[in-house]
Amino acid sequence: MEDKPLISVLIPVLNEQESLPELQQRLHNTLEDIKKPYEIIYINDGSTDMTQHLLEDFRKQNDKVKIIEFNRNYGQHMALFAGFERAKGEIVITIDADLQNPPEEIPKLVEKSEEGYEVVGTYRKKRKDSIFRKIPSYIVNRITAKLVGVKLRDYGCMLRAYRRNIVDYMNMCPESSSFIPALANTFAKKIVEIEVAHEERKKGTSKYSVFRLLRL
């Protein structure tokens, strides 16, 4: 019997073959260092490159790796919802696959969760994105804050942690929102935002056009 994981890490992946090997290595090191039971759930959101092949290799090397494979591209937030349903951890962490969120920040999020915060958001200290990526984000931040009534500095940063009770709530209403940080904040009483580093996307390209972002 494997241990029930304390930490579930969810990673939506669309055509990230260039980033995945380094991501898996750094995640593995970070999570092993925490010394608590964990699982890594990759959600392959309809990739057409070598992503699936790489993920299967990771699973062969580490039985804590799980894969959800979509038949086509459904989008990052749908992918995360599939991950939430599958996740068994008490603390569920979401992170992008492209290494813009350093996996080494995960222990900070775990620590905050364990202090009792139901949602741990992060904001990017020095956001390393182009102006064309930042302006739509600014608009999304402002609109979301208004709609949800919770002001966060950075709704777009997907390195986040959720406690089990919040994940259970979200699993009850997958249709009601396609924007997970906003949904989570409608349930949570104790929310905190911590500062994390942000890297440039070194490999591959952003999967969001201005149009897709505004639709979100």
103 is in the binding site of which of ligand UDP, Mg ion, none (Cβ under 5 to 8 A by kind)? none
Q: Cβ 113 to ligand UDP, closest distance in Å?
A: 21
Contact 200, 126 (CB under 8 A): no
Name the residue among 71, 81, 74, 86 with its Cα closest to residue 212.
Answer: 74
Q: Which is nearer to ligand UDP, 36 or 141 (CB)?
A: 141
Q: Which is nearer to ligand UDP, 120 or 180 (CB)?
A: 180
Name the residue among 127, 90, 93 with its Cα closest to residue 107.
Answer: 93
193 is in the binding site of which of Mg ion, ligand UDP, none (Cβ under 5 to 8 A by kind)? none
Within residues 145-204, the interface with ligand UDP by CB under 6 A covers none
Interaction of residue 20 with ligand UDP, rule CB under 6 A? no
Q: Which is nearer to Mg ion, 73 or 186 (CB)?
A: 73
Instruction: Classify strands 7-13 and 191-196 as parallel, antiparallel or unpaired.
Output: unpaired
- What's the token pair of residue 173? 């209403």
Among 82, 97, 106, 182, binds ligand UDP (CB under 6 A): 97
Contact 84, 170 (CB under 8 A): yes
- What's the token pair of residue 75? 């989008």
Name the residue among 15, 64, 5 with its Cα closest to residue 206.
Answer: 15
Within residues 135-194, the interface with Mg ion by CB under 5 A covers none
Determine the Cα–Cα distance for residues 76 and 44; give it in Å rounded to an integer.
10
Interaction of residue 76 with Mg ion, rule CB under 5 A? no
Task: Tell me which stretch binds ligand UDP (CB under 6 A): 11-19, 104-112, 147-155, 184-192.
Answer: 11-19
Q: What are phi and psi of 94, to 5 degrees?
A: -110, 140
208 is in the binding site of which of ligand UDP, Mg ion, none (Cβ under 5 to 8 A by kind)? ligand UDP
Cα distances (angstroms) measured from residue 4 to each of 1, 8, 38, 43, 89: 9, 10, 8, 20, 7
Interaction of residue 39 with Mg ion, rule CB under 5 A? no
Contact 123, 101 (CB under 8 A): no
Q: Which is nearer to ligand UDP, 4 or 53 (CB)?
A: 53
Among 52, 62, 73, 177, binds ligand UDP (CB under 6 A): 73
**Which residues would be at the binding site for ligand UDP (CB under 6 A)?**
12-14, 16, 45, 73, 75-76, 79, 96-98, 100, 133, 206-208
**Which residues would be at the binding site for Mg ion (CB under 5 A)?**
96, 98, 100
